[in-house]
Amino acid sequence: MKYEAVKNYYDGNFYESVSTESLDVVSPIDGNHLSKVPMSGVEELNKAVESAKNAFPKWSNTPIKERVQVFFKYRYLLEKNFEELTALVSEENGKTWDEAKAEVEKSIELTEFACSMPQLVSGEILEVSKGVECRTEHFPLGVVASIVPFNFPLMVPNWTMPNALVLGNTMIMKPSELVPLSCLRMAQLLKESGLPDGVFNIINGGREIVEAICAHEDIEAVSFVGSTKVAKLVYQQATHNLKRCIALGGAKNHLFVLPDANPSMTASNVTASMSGCAGQRCMAASAMLAVGNVDSIISQICDEARKIVPGKNLGAVISKAAKERIENYITEAEKDGAKILVDGRGAIVEGKENGTYVGPTVIDYVKPEMSVATEEIFGPVISIMRTENLDEALRIENANPYGNAASVFTQSGGAARYVMEHASAGMIGVNIGVPVPREPFSFGGWNDSRFGANDITGKSSIEFWTKLKKTTTKWNPEAGINWMS
């Protein structure tokens, strides 16, 4: 075991879990045993919530301009420890070095946004009638929770933690049991940044902890990022217990490719989108709608895909089970009559035979009812469906229950505008494979890709992590009195 057993973190200290149940943490790169993670019990969650509850009054009463100072320091420490964090993300998640590096860079950008919060959250004031003023102020909610997935061990925790804390909340984080190490390192850096004890806490575990978070009477709000199946459960449980909740789910992102698209730009964007992070991104291109004759672009996509080599410029998928699931999808599509143009099944990396790799895969002549067309595969696979026109392509995209992202590749402004208007997704790209809105814009899909009213990052997150107080004042004894005053 390369690292010591994963601990829980609360009251500013790391505690060995009292649970006897644990899971191995294995690197997808080579199958090496990295650590073990405890399946903590509810008593441990209760202690962490107590710690967050005790820390809340002082932290929430600290002026926001002082709270952000901790995050300026945290940002500095992310940069100072850049290489080490990159290595950790890559090791526990299986990403390539460049992908892990981008994840640390994005975590820095998210922290920078949180540091700008004082500029964004000042309230409003207006004289609403003679001598009568209304003003608004954002107040933190209290103890909040963040439940995160395996695919971005550092970035997704940084979607929620810096904004929620800068806005005055205290937090319990539940990392993915598959990749708990980056989160733990994050806690160490926050402590080094001077974050008061109890403001940020981590409890490791699985379903039992998630259910206990959704039921805990001292937790005010729950944010969740993960699969749609679990997002629905978390949203139902948390809101049933009268908590505020945002739950982001899975995705099936469609790319519309039109015959007038720039061929080389389209081919490289489509390929990078479907294979980046081994296809384990909720923004990954997973289905391509070939509108009319785009054969030459498809052939260039295949050429680009063949340049992507597992273990070199393509990372591993998270586990043996994931590899098996992805390969089964490809086999099923083949049996159902689709044509495998580039086949990533059976990929093995020399010297890393216990790693879990799937090569880039391009499947053509997929029918809209096949499982590779409708379901999230979460691997480096693109399913191409042929359509005669844009409306037929839009009908296929609209019928899919997910709605995270969609992109169109064309040189026609009118066609691009038509897709922007009619695609049923929360994040739209024009000539871009991964249309992630960067700060200060907010991140969040539609339909089964997001439950709850707000987005999770950017300006929209302010509404999620705070409640608005409206105060009406009248100091002028001569001010008139009417039915509204």
Single out the catalytic residue among 134, 214, 282, 302: 282
Q: Both tokens of residue 33?
A: 């045993």
Within 43-169, strands assigned E span 125-129, 132-140, 143-147
CA angle 251, 253, 255 (to 5 degrees): 180
User: Which residues of the shown chain bind ligand NAD in the complex (CB under 6 A)?
Assistant: 147-151, 156, 174, 176-177, 206-207, 210, 225-227, 230, 233, 248-251, 282, 376, 378, 404, 445, 449
Our CB check for ligand NAD shows the closer of 196 and 206 to be 206
Tell me which residue of 372, 273, 275, 363 sits closest to 326, measured CA to CA: 372
Q: How far is the CB of 473 from ligand NAD (least distance, A)?
A: 41
Our CB check for ligand NAD shows the closer of 7 and 281 to be 281
- Per-residue b/e over 140-157, b at no fewer than 16 CB within 10 Å? bbbbbbbbbbbbbbbbbb
Q: Are 185 and 175 in contact (CB under 8 A)?
A: no
Residue with the CB atom nearest ligand NAD in the bound state: 226
Tell me which residue of 346, 363, 361 sits closest to 275, measured CA to CA: 361
At residue 174, what is the residue type?
A: K
**Looking up tokens 């009195």, which residue turns up?**
481
Q: How far is the CB of 345 from ligand NAD (least distance, A)?
A: 21
Our CB check for ligand NAD shows the closer of 288 and 290 to be 288
What lies within 8 Å, CB to CB, of 297 at 6+ separation is 257, 261, 263, 266, 267, 290
Our CB check for ligand NAD shows the closer of 86 and 449 to be 449
Our CB check for ligand NAD shows the closer of 219 and 415 to be 219
Our CB check for ligand NAD shows the closer of 300 and 361 to be 361
**Looking up tokens 């908590």, which residue turns up?**
243
Q: How far is the CB of 475 from ligand NAD (least distance, A)?
A: 47
Enumerate the β-bridge partners of residue 369: none
Residue 245 designated active-site: no
Q: How far is the CB of 74 from ligand NAD (least distance, A)?
A: 22
Q: Quick check: helix, strand or coil at residue 188?
A: helix
Our CB check for ligand NAD shows the closer of 151 and 361 to be 151
Q: How far is the CB of 176 from ligand NAD (least distance, A)?
A: 4
Q: How far is the CB of 37 from ligand NAD (least distance, A)?
A: 10
Distance from C-alpha of 206 to C-alpha of 178, rounded to nearest angstrom: 10
Enumerate the β-bridge partners of residue 450: 248
* Cβ neighbours, 10 Å, residue 279: 27
Distance from C-alpha of 104 to C-alpha of 126, rounded to nearest angstrom: 42
197 alpha-carbon distance from chain centroid: 26
Pairing of strands 466-474, 450-451: unpaired
Q: Are 120 and 462 in contact (CB under 8 A)?
A: yes
Q: How far is the CB of 151 from ligand NAD (least distance, A)?
A: 5
Q: Both tokens of residue 273?
A: 């989108």
**Which of the residues are catalytic?**
282
